[in-house]
């Protein structure tokens, strides 16, 4: 695991773009970005994700090539980039995100990472291209070819980033994350 800057991430995305596009095309869909939490501790990194974000907003990578297929999102890994915020140890519900919830710095860094990736990969910031694991688990992009739902609207096996803060409205995490990413993209806040 090595720490990178957003400029490094942009370069990595540009290099991986043709391979990601080809892998996604073979699946009959666009390139996707999936955002997760690790359900672990701050500072605890897992190599299932291309990009990990620590509690202080530091951005880390487990790979040299963003087109490397990793096991981050059930049946949705090909032609996709997996992001994770290192947090949510002990999270049990939208009203109890445990002793290590997503920090403000993680949420902002996650949104900046999404802004960089979507720009470099030339994909829009919408639910068809950028999703939380909770949204992907319930096929909220409308693509139900790959699996039956297993998210918060069904079996609740995965609910990563369903909310970003305790007490947020249920299901608001993805919209807030995408909205912040659009702001960073439009306002040069990178």
Q: Residue 142 has what DSSP assignment?
A: S
| Segment 82-95, tens digit of pLDDT | 999 999 999 999 99
- Alpha helices by DSSP H, listed for 27-166, are 104-121, 133-137
> Are the C-beta atoms of residues 177 and 115 closer than 8 Å to each other?
no
pLDDT at residue 189 tops 70: no
The per-residue pLDDT for range 59-78, each reduced to its tens digit, is 999 999 999 999 888 678 78
Q: Which helix (H) or strand (E) holds 21?
A: helix 6-26
- Domains of the chain, each with CATH number or no CATH: 2-187 (3.40.80.10)
Single out the residue of 104, 106, 120 nearest to residue 33, CA to CA.
Answer: 120
> Which of 17-26, 86-95, 108-117, 131-140 has the lowest average pLDDT?
131-140
Collapsed DSSP state (helix, strand, coil) of residue 80 = strand
The alpha carbon torsion through 89, 161, 79, 153 (nearest 10 deg) reads 110
């Amino acid at each position: 695991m090595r720490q990178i800057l957003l400029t490094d991430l942009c370069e990595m995305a540009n290099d991986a773009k043709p391979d990601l596009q080809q892998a996604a095309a073979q699946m009959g869909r666009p390139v996707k970005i999936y955002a997760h939490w690790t359900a672990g501790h701050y500072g605890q990194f897992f190599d299932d994700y291309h990009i990990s974000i620590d509690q202080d907003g530091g951005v880390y990578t487990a790979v040299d090539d963003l087109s490397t297929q990793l096991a981050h999102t059930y049946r949705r890994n090909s032609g996709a980039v997996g992001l994770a915020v290192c947090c949510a140890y002990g999270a049990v519900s939208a009203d109890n995100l445990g002793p290590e919830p997503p920090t403000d710095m993680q949420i902002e860094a996650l949104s900046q990472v999404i802004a960089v990736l979507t720009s470099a990969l030339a994909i829009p910031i919408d639910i068809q291209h950028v999703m939380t694991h909770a949204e992907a688990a319930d096929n909220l992009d409308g693509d139900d070819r790959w699996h039956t739902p297993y998210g918060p609207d069904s079996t609740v096996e995965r609910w990563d980033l369903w909310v970003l803060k305790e007490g947020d409205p249920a299901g608001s995490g993805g919209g807030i994350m995408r909205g912040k990413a659009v702001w960073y993209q439009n306002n040069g806040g990178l």
